[in-house]
Structure 1
Amino acid sequence: MSGTGRVRRPRRPVALAVVLTAAIALLCCTGGTGAVVITQLAGAEEDNLAMNAFGCGVDTEIEVDGDLPLVAPYGRAQMRNAAVIIRVGKEMKVPPRGWVIAIATAMQESGLANLPHLGADNDHDSQGMFQQRPSMGWGTPAQVRDPAYASRKFYERLVRVDNWQRRPLTVAAQRVQRSAFPDAYAKHEPIATQIVNALTGGAARATGDTTELRCTTGADIAASGWTAPIPGAVGSGFRSTRRPNHQGVDIGARKGVDIRAAAAGRVVVSHCDPDNRGRLSCDVDGHPGKGGCGWYVDILHAGNVITRYCHMVRAPLVRKNQLVEAGQVIGKVGSSGNSSGPHLHFEVHLRGDRSKRGATDPVPFMRERGAPLKGHG
């Protein structure tokens, strides 16, 4: 905690994804939250379908005077407040990443409700969506209970945080809020992303450094906080008929290319994966059938998502328990472990489950977050 109406339904967004193709050799390797439900009010089904076509937002004014999409478990009043947060951010020319951070913060502080002074249940004199304290200079009680005023004050402090767009959401939010529970914001990031997408036609998939709502490309970081780990194209896919136990995708790249963290998080694994004979032999190129990921890293992200990066050419550049920012270089492409040539084996795991039971196809996962893997836009 820190020291009513409608959203005008925008025109249906046009999917901006461009399918890129590339001839790439088949590479051999091995890889070592509650559901968010989006519902629409009557008459908006077409907009929902268009949003699912992976648009990256539409440049129309956000209003709060009518029907609005709902994102469970939040109701109309909360979604109205979220729309105000987005509208103020857009008016202030804060990039969409800021909208996600602001909404996630308000989810933690008030459940997106515009709370009055709660008397004996109040934490000091905290009030409003962001639980801002009049005694700490945030404004008068009436001002901090005005959603537009409270949003503006939040953004004014957020944009003064150094490198705020690349920092973990919980770090950026804490620099503004000074909460007694600084790690609590992170768990709201996935649903905050869904809310921004629902209210804007997919703006959480837009590049994080502009208000133009253009789709991410290359090393851009989406407003969702995600980015592609390397620029190469996907070759071997997830659990194909030929390779049913392939728990990720292979992305082609030359040896030594930078591998970047796909999102901010905490390193949970950074070491050499033993081969099939139990040997730690990651400092040499591997071969098919050798077994193991070679040098690899696992990173835990918001929402209990884990990403895995295998076959690095040498020891990773990050250590266990280190906090990393989105896009931070964590290692170099190589061919260690069970590999037939230089590439990145990239996995995504849900529910904090690092086993094959938690693995999900990285292609749709990354695309939905505005960070499509090359060749699969």
Structure 2
Amino acid sequence: MAGGGVAERWVRRRTRLWLWKVAAPVAIPVMAAVTLLIVPLAVIAGAEADTAAGPGLRCSAGGTGATVAGIDLDAVQMGQAQTIADVAATLGLGPYAATVALATAYQESRIRMLANDGSSPELTREQAAVTATSLQYPHDGLGSDHDSVNAFQQRWIAGWGTVAQLMDPVYAAEAFYARLIAVPNWQTIPLTQAAQAVQVSAYGDAYARWAPFATELTAMLWPAAEATAADLGGPSGGVCPGLVVPAGSWTRPTGGLLTSGFGPRWGALHAGVDIAGPRDAPVYAAAEGTVTTAACTSAFCDRDGGLDVSGYGNLVEIDHGAGVATRYGHLSRYTVTAGQPVAAGALIGYQGSTGNSTGVHLHYETRLDGVPVDPVPFMADRGVDLAADPGGRRR
């Protein structure tokens, strides 16, 4: 199944971090010495090779924000923060590692996955072109500091990885933790000292400012992170935990751009809207209800479909009562069963391209007494703007 193997990827990554614990004190200086010799060719080849794999699951796809130590965080920031905490817990590093990482990410990017347009005058033309490939990957905003990308502002020229790797939030967190655990006594030294040893920033004292904030944020995220670490058996566990949505509220079902609206299309009614995000981006119940359908509705759902395949592919339908229902189509897989009650924001599946589909997206429908209605005004009446994704972009 396309996009599968979540548990296997986490196991491989955990093994890789264990090797880092042993090898990092020697490997990092050696890597730094050879980086300037090999990176121009390696990064170009690596960017092509890694594009197929794509970024990992992005838990910033939807949901609500929170206020932490007096700082307001939106859904994107909270999602990225949860991923950072999840990686720490899954690698067995403990909450202090997450606290150091979250303080660092807030200082560097305000906990957003930043792409880079390559406009820094410090870059050569070739370096600028490679840096600008970060724009091809899902991101939460733009930066232009040298060749820095992602929430930690890691630099491919400095040997952190290829641009494609660094635009994967899970890889970025792993890379940070790999260098953190190589710092002597990292568990006991002050946060700002640990962060600076990893980042080598021109503003090394800046991380201390965010220590109380990062401590409180870690405490908020750690229970879900521990649940993720305890459940590596499949996608219904913890890679993307459910969202916290106030009772009676509705939430955006997934992240990405609205790419196709409700109405006539190719001589038939397009009964919903299409929201396109990265493959295996989490899909959530838009509101509280009961699952009425969780099934493959096409000839096959173990791989991508196409225009010659009929049906929704993997489909979840939820009855919200009072004649209101929602449908979630073309999922790569679903994590619920028919008859199961779900809360608003519950994880129900992942974006895919099964059934009558030509690309990865969520087909989202809203129905009143069985009749499809346009989801955009329907959701707007319930406080959810489908036309703007959590990254701030608008179609």
* TM-score, normalisation: structure 1: 0.37
Higher RCO (Cα < 8 Å, 6 or more apart): 1
- Could you say which structure has the higher strand fraction? 2
- Name the one with the larger helix percent: 2
